[in-house]
Structure 1
């Protein structure tokens, strides 16, 4: 079994659906951090079978809307001095602003410098719609 050290101060994003860890890493822009980030893919989980985990040393806050968009079943654990001080559960956001881009080439967002805004149109199927052109976001997860 692979052993990854625990962190003293930072965040552990746990229970990420297996295979979505890299998407979380990309949309949270964790590559821009100058701290230690560990991505564990396909870890064994008694509850889900497999899961992804991301450990971020030194970071104490993340965008829960981004995480909720990708995987609203994930858990965010805030660690201080080696102790769990807070556990957060992201929720599916009602609105996404500048998280993903509209793929419609005729959308105003492809020619104008405006915010990319999507609103939740189907919470059960996790579907979002562009605020400007009504295009349904196909890659919601």
Structure 2
């Protein structure tokens, strides 16, 4: 059986959809980290069946907007002295910038490459976002 030790101080990104752990690991550039990190994939979970987990043996800044957009069911556990001191539940962000690109070929962001891609949450239930410039739709779920 695989054993991953607990961490004394750091962050545990938990309840990640199976397979998304690698994308988060890459986005956070954890492969270049000087601190110990662990990406645990396809772990059994009573709550969701299977999940990925990332353990980081230090406190780092996280992009909550990106993480919430990618998987709003992620939980961030802050660890101090081997115990969880804070638990942050993510949700779909109300607005996102430069995470996705508009698919509308007529959108100004498709023509002008230096414009920030901005989207606002149109439906949290459906995970639907709309482009702030052309109202083009993007589904995150």
TM-score normalised to structure 2 length: 0.85
Please list every run of 5 or more consecutive structure 2 residues that lacks an aligned counterpart in the other structure: none
The match for 1:124 is: 125
1:30-109 equivalences in 2 (<5 Å): 30-31=30-31, 33-109=33-109
Distance 1:30 1:116 in 2: 25
Structure 2 vs 1, CA of residues 108 and 26 (structure 1 numbering), >3 Å: closer, same or farther?
A: farther
Q: Which moved more, 1:23-32 or 1:46-55?
A: 23-32
For structure 1, which runs of at least 5 residues remain unmatched after alignment?
A: none
Q: Whole-Å Cα distance in 2 between the matches of residues 48 and 17 of structure 1?
A: 9
Cα 1:76–1:94 change in 2 (3 A) is same
Q: Distance in 1 between matches of 2:90 and 2:19?
A: 18
Indicate the RMSD between aligned Cα atoms, in angstroms.
2.0
Deviation at 1:27, TM superposition (A): 4.0
Could you tell me how far apart the structure 1 residues matched to 2:41 and 2:18 are?
7
Once the two structures are TM-superposed, the CA of residue 88 in structure 1 deviates from its matched residue by: 0.7
> TM-score of the superposition, structure 1-length normalised?
0.85
How far off its partner does 1:33 sit? 3.8
How many residue pairs get aligned? The number is 140
